[in-house]
Structure 1
């Protein structure tokens, strides 16, 4: 009886693990693994010179056709002036979108200063919308280089 119960619990655990869906998230980090399509080193505070990659994970196939990423001055509670935005067509075969660019000043990924288009430290809000509907916002903090 005990072996049957253990086998039953193992089967249920694998069933629930197979059905789990990753949560919707905006992930910011310094490193990106293209083989796994994952941003690593997730954090919310970056020096202006740190590399910055922003990834939007939806957790299921995109159920919209246009994805827009917008950067704002300020905090989520007090969102300020729009800095810039980027809109891209997506398909229902995608569940993740990574925003990164090549640095103009050195080889490698854009720095936080370049991607956020800010010269001074301070809070920045990253907002992701699908077909005009806001899906998620994340606040990051840009700090002075040490």
Structure 2
């Protein structure tokens, strides 16, 4: 359970890691759409990282770039989120990473939670070191 309390310009909650401040105005906290997109990206990134570690692949870094498409006609709702993963490592193969990306999408709770409501596309590139 999370409990949110009102503050100037928004709401906040206290969590084990710290205080989370949320507002529709960036001057007072994280915007709700930023948190939604972050949840999709970081959940996917965490699952991707776990799978790569279990496969014992030599990965040095993962960077995730996001883009959210919103529909101004319908309450500015998010309709599509693109996640692009830059995977830096040694000896990484495209065919193996394509399968890993399928597993990532299938096992990410946040992506599965929005399935049917928000289109989530995932692409990747390999940066060889």
* TM superposition score normalised by structure 1: 0.24
* TM superposition score normalised by structure 2: 0.27
Task: Flag the structure with more relative contact order, 1 or 2, with Cα contacts below 8 A and sequence separation at least 6.
Answer: 1
Q: Which has the higher helix share?
A: 2
